């Protein structure tokens, strides 16, 4: 397999890494930067917050600016509805100069499940405004097609609840999404182990987005590398073609004896 086949396109931009990293929950910026480097990612998500005079060290712009070949994808976390998400996206684009936006709207602060309706409304408006829109969504095949029709560059169904480490509990739905999607499908949220990232890639996902599983690992930098390997392994396995499970039915009385 050559590099050209390995790369993939997202909103007209080419990427070779199929691992997207979140930058939240790291103990410090230096660890985060090392993890990003170890992961080989080319796309990282960031969040917008009020500037804090007391903690100027929270500002990620300076450390991220030092990384080469990294594109930023601001998210809309904190937005409670479509209107707020559109505003957040505009601020994110102003600040990052990047057309990528991860639309995430989760009004319930406990389980953080995405609001499908508000996410759809925001995604549609932002896509029309020229953003490269990646909505974080429930693993819903109908919603996924509606978002594709609305002009999204990819859909990002959840594997399980954000930060839960529940893995690919939505695997059946994600398979249905992949089956009929014309845009990349990226599993976002819920992964815990690199083997789960590999499984998502084996199922046919274009990429995975990982944050907590790396940031909250014993050694985040080593885990970032492990996820990179997991994604690579799963993608290579997908390209190679998995051996099917054997469930050859054995019939007691012949079904085809009527054929002449």
Partner 1 sequence: MFLTVNGEKHEHSGDGTVAALLTELGATPDHTALTVNGELVFSRHWKTFKFNDGDTVEILTFVGGG
Partner 2 sequence: MKTLPDWLNPEPWLNRTFSASEVRQALSAEAPDETTLAALLSPAAADFLEPMAARAQALTRRHFGRTIQLYVPLYLSSYCSGGCAYCGFAADRRTDRHALTFESAAKELDAIHAMGFEEVLLLTGERSSQADLDYLRECVRLAAHRFHNVTIEVFPMAEEEYRSLAEAGCTGVTLYQETYHPGTYDLMHRWGPKKDFFRRLEAPAQALAGGMRFAGIGALLGLADPRYDMLALYRHARYLQKTFWQAGLALSFPRIRNEEGGFIPPHPVDEKMLAQIIFAFRICLPDVPLALSTREGAAFRDGMAGLGINKMSIASKTTVGGYGGEGSKEGQFDISDARSLDEFCAMLRTKRLEPVFKNWDGVYRLTA
User: What DSSP character marks residue 216?
Assistant: T
Distance, in Å, from the CA atom of 59 to the CA atom of 61, rounded to the nearest integer, reads 6
Distance, in Å, from the CA atom of 129 to the CA atom of 82, rounded to the nearest integer, reads 14
Site string for partner 2, 153-182 (x = CB under 8 A): ----------------------x--xxxxx
Q: Are 206 and 177 in contact (CB under 8 A)?
A: no
Residue of 102, 124, 145, 245 with catalytic role: 102
Chain contacts with partner 1 (rule: CB under 8 A): 22-26, 32, 45-51, 53, 56, 58-62, 64, 72, 74-75, 77, 87, 90-92, 94-96, 162, 189, 209, 211-212
Q: Among residues 53, 55, 110, 245, which is the contact residue for partner 2, using CB under 8 A?
A: 245
Q: Are 201 and 238 in contact (CB under 8 A)?
A: yes
Distances (CA, A) of 48 to 87, 96, 101, 122, 135: 11, 10, 12, 17, 17
Q: Among residues 204, 229, 233, 236, which is the contact residue for partner 2, using CB under 8 A?
A: 204
* Residue 253's binding partner out of partner 1, partner 2, none, with CB under 5 to 8 Å set by partner kind: none
Helix axes 82-96, 116-128, angle to 10 degrees: 40
Minimum Å gap between C-beta 142 and partner 2 is 8
Q: Interacting stretch for partner 2, rule CB under 8 A, among 64-72, 104-112, 219-227, 242-250?
A: 242-250
Handedness of CA 226, 231, 236, 242 (dihedral sign): positive
Of 44 and 185, the one with the shorter C-beta distance to partner 2 is 185
102 a catalytic residue: yes
| Residues in touch with partner 2 (CB under 8 A) | 145, 175, 178-182, 203-204, 241-251, 254-256, 258-260
Residues catalogued as catalytic: 102
């Amino acid at each position: 397999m050559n590099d050209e086949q390995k790369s993939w396109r997202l909103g007209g931009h080419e990427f070779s890494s199929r691992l997207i990293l979140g930058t939240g929950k790291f103990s410090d910026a230096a660890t985060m930067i090392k993890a990003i480097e170890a992961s080989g990612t080319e796309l990282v998500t960031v969040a917008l917050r009020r500037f804090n005079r007391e903690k100027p060290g929270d500002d990620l712009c300076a450390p991220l600016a030092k990384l080469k070949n990294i594109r930023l994808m601001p998210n809309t976390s904190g937005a409670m509805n479509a209107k707020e998400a559109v505003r957040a996206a505009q601020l994110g684009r102003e600040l990052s100069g990047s057309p990528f936006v991860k639309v995430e709207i989760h009004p319930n602060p406990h389980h953080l499940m995405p609001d499908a309706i508000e996410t759809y409304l925001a995604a549609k408006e932002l896509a029309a405004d020229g953003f490269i829109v990646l909505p974080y969504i429930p693993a819903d095949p109908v919603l996924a097609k509606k978002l594709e029709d609305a002009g999204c560059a990819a859909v990002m169904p959840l594997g399980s609840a954000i930060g839960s480490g529940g893995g690919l509990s939505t695997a059946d739905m994600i398979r249905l999404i992949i089956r009929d999607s014309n845009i990349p499908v990226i599993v976002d949220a819920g992964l815990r182990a690199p083997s789960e990232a590999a499984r998502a890639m084996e199922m046919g996902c274009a990429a995975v987005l990982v944050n907590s599983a790396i940031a909250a690992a014993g050694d985040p930098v080593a885990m970032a590398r492990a996820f990179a390997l997991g994604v690579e392994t799963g993608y290579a396995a997908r390209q190679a073609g998995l051996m099917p499970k054997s469930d050859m039915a054995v019939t007691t009385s012949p079904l085809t004896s009527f054929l002449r």
